[in-house]
A and B are shown apart, each in its own frame.
Chain A
Amino acid sequence: MMTLVIGGAGSGKSEYAERLLVSGGADAPRYYIATMQPFDEEGRARVVKHRAARAGRDFTTVERYTDLASLSLPHGGAALLECVGNLCANELFSPQGSGDGAEQAIVRGVEALRRQCKTLVIVSNEVLSGGADYLGETERYLRLLGRVNRALAASADNVCEVVCGVPIYYKGGALR
């Protein structure tokens, strides 16, 4: 079961995705796949905040910034991948990334992860509703994220957008 959760800044998408994983994954071991490379104080503070939110829920944190396809997890677990926005930036701009092959690398990586997990919840970022007038690397990034979101939504069992902490389903439905 694969669910794509998309939301804007401060929308409550992470909290909802965690709830979804805990309720849908039952007793399976839980993995949190963190894709954000903390470059500065703000990044580190974000990691601390997210770790505190997950505390007590028995997640094993796996840091993975690029090359999702070669990540190996014990089979049958429940994984939360957060977030696709960072993964896109890493694949596109990091020296370890796959550059022009970013879309394929991410989509294949998610497929590989899906085969290993009983439940997979993927968090992505809504950054495409604030204007269309971007150039250069920003435009390249936005196009990649839009394509990846569409590809993941096409193959996911469930797709929802979180607004103000409220999930709105466009495909499938909430996990029971």
Chain B
Amino acid sequence: MIFIFGPLCSGKRAAAMELLHCTARELSARAVWDVQELAAQAGDLERLADELAQRDAVIATEIGCGVVPVDARERAAREAAGRLNCLLAQRAQAVVRVFCGIPVLIRGELP
């Protein structure tokens, strides 16, 4: 599994298509995105990470680098999204951070 993350609208899915050599249609079968939204509801982040890691690519939008939210639930959701990213990175053969559309390999090897 390739774990791809980066800011909103940074070109993460386009990078995934390039890295997996696939079309947009094929991507929806091979990859899952917006996983940051799944973290808050998950009772067991390790299990969620195991399930997601079955895909060829997992894509997350980085949401943890802004001002700490006033709302406790929002704070917990942001923290959970960050933890999920760490767990996905541990399971990935390659971790790619996308910066302005440029994929940067920060750990592992691309398939």
Binding site for B on A (CB under 8 A): 8-12, 42, 126-131, 134, 138, 142, 163-166, 168
Q: How far is the CA of A129 from the CA of B67 in the complex (A)?
A: 8
Please pick, from A128, A129, A164, the residue contacting B86 in the complex, using a CB distance under 8 A. A164
Interface of A is mostly: loop
A11 and B67 contacting across the interface, CB-CB below 8 Å: no
Question: Quick one: which of B3, B66, B79, B95 contacts A127, CB cutoff 8 A?
Answer: B66
A129→B106 CA distance, assembly (Å): 20
Set of chain B residues within 8 Å of A127, measured between Cβ atoms: 65-68
A134 to B75, CA, bound (A): 18
Judging by beta carbons under 8 Å apart, are A163 and B66 in contact? no
**In the complex where A8-B82, A10-B78, A42-B72 touch, is A164 in contact with B3 (Cβ < 8 A)?**
yes
Given contacts A10-B83, A168-B106, whether A130 and B89 have CB atoms under 8 Å apart is no
Residues of B within 8 A of A (CB): 3, 5, 7, 62-68, 72, 75, 78-86, 88-90, 95, 97, 106-107
Interchain CB contact (< 8 A) of B67 among A138, A164, A168: A138
Contact B78 A9 (CB under 8 A): yes
**Contact A165–B89 (Cβ < 8 Å):** yes
B residues within 8 A CB of A12? 82, 86
Residue of B nearest to A16 (CB): B86
Is the Cβ of B89 less than 8 Å from the Cβ of A129? no
- Contacting residues, chain A, for B82 (C-beta < 8 A): 8-12
A125 to chain B, nearest CB (A): 8
Give Cα distance in the complex from A113 to B67, angstroms.
28
B66 touching A10 by the CB < 8 A rule?
A: no
Q: Which A residues are CB-close (under 8 A) to B65?
A: 8-9, 126-130
**Complex Cα–Cα for A9 and B84 (A):** 11
A164 contacts B95, C-beta separation under 8 Å: yes
B79 engages A9 (CB within 8 Å): yes
Other than the given A10-B79, A10-B80, A163-B5, 14 more pairs (CB < 8 A) read A8-B64, A9-B68, A9-B75, A10-B82, A10-B83, A10-B85, A42-B72, A42-B75, A129-B65, A130-B65, A142-B67, A164-B88, A164-B95, A165-B86
